Amino acid sequence: MKILVTGGAGYIGSHTCVELLKNGHDVTAADNFANSDMQAIDGVKKITGKNLEFYETDLRNETELNDIFVQNPFDCVIHFAGLKAVAESVAKPMLYYENNLVATLNLCRAMKNYGVKRIIFSSSATVYKGTNPMPLGEDAELGAINPYGWSKFMCEQILRDTAAAEGDWSVVLLRYFNPVGAHESGIIGENPRGIPNNLMPFIAQTAGGIHAKVNVFGNDYATPDGTGIRDYIHVEDLAKGHVNAMDFAFNNPGCEVFNLGTGRGVSVLEMIETFKKVNKVNVPYEIAARRPGDNAEVFANPAKAAKILGFKAEKNLEDMCRDAWKYFHPPGAETV
């Protein structure tokens, strides 16, 4: 099958390109390099030994987007392209709404115009209300608490309404939790620009000497060690979940939503201690005040994805920590 991967040079997009190529698909990636670079595409080629077509473009440019569809008879789209930093979305809400919504609307128009009727959308657990009991099932109450989450919520609704109106479209909305780790080769991984918004790359950078310490926001939650708990999933498992979702889309019109997570919560301190143990490095940390809006724990109920998609995360926390460090600090690199 011929697949378009938007945001294909990004963290999850590049790992999904690897899985698609490994499964024999013809892959075209598009990215504007807002938070990525060409090294990821080169890494995909190196890992797989296969080629993929690449377009540097912004989905908000309808002319360039239509040109891609004119040149390629796609069977399916996997849509990752979008801004994704929660804190930045709070500071720049208009940027997030304009970028994420316009890109999705333009993509849907292009798909309709060129007869492409299957799309897998990269959504997020941030679309769930923070007041839901754990674990989170797909039927949990929706309602984001930041512009990033609302932009994902709105994109979901755009796709849901489009599927209902078109009748023969197949839309799969994947709500995933906390992707971490890197490809086991160490060739591609998470490489955020500036100060990382997520825990794992901040831990890796601290172990590498870039930061003096990790700030642990709160140690007085009602959790076993007092620190916040989240559901972390290895990015390679997550990429495989997208391939499973695409296989489902080819046989099931309509719109379906799935959580992609492990179903196991990991605390901040457990993550830090596991990273130290697995990689034999020091990770200084300091307890800081809670951040407004943080929940004590957030983790998935992955049963629906297991039953319908046949998806189950296979890699454990040690794998996540080992692969993240391998990418950040490859064998033979100087210790900072």
Q: Would you please indicate which residues are annotated as catalytic (active-site) residues?
A: 148
Task: Please report, as a single letter, which amino acid is at residue 245.
Answer: A
Which phi and psi angles does 176 have, rounded to 5°?
-110, 165
d(CA 30, CA 57): 6
DSSP string, 151-209: HHHHHHHHHHHHHHHHSS-EEEEEEE-EEE-B-TTSSSB---SSS-SSHHHHHHHHHTT
Could you give the CA distance from residue 155 to residue 143 in angstroms, rounded to a whole number?
A: 13
Question: Measured between alpha carbons, how far is 289 from 208 in angstroms, rounded to an integer?
Answer: 25
What is the C-alpha to C-alpha distance for residues 209 and 104, in angstroms, rounded to an integer? 39
User: Which parts of the chain fold into alpha helices (H)?
Assistant: 11-22, 38-48, 62-71, 86-91, 93-113, 147-166, 199-207, 235-249, 268-279, 303-304, 317-328
Q: What is the spatial distance between Cα 219 and Cα 196, in angstroms, rounded to a whole number?
A: 21
Distance between CA atoms of residues 194 and 163, nearest Å: 38
Phi–psi pair at 232, nearest 5 degrees: -100, 135
Bridge-based pairing of strands 285-288 and 170-176 is unpaired
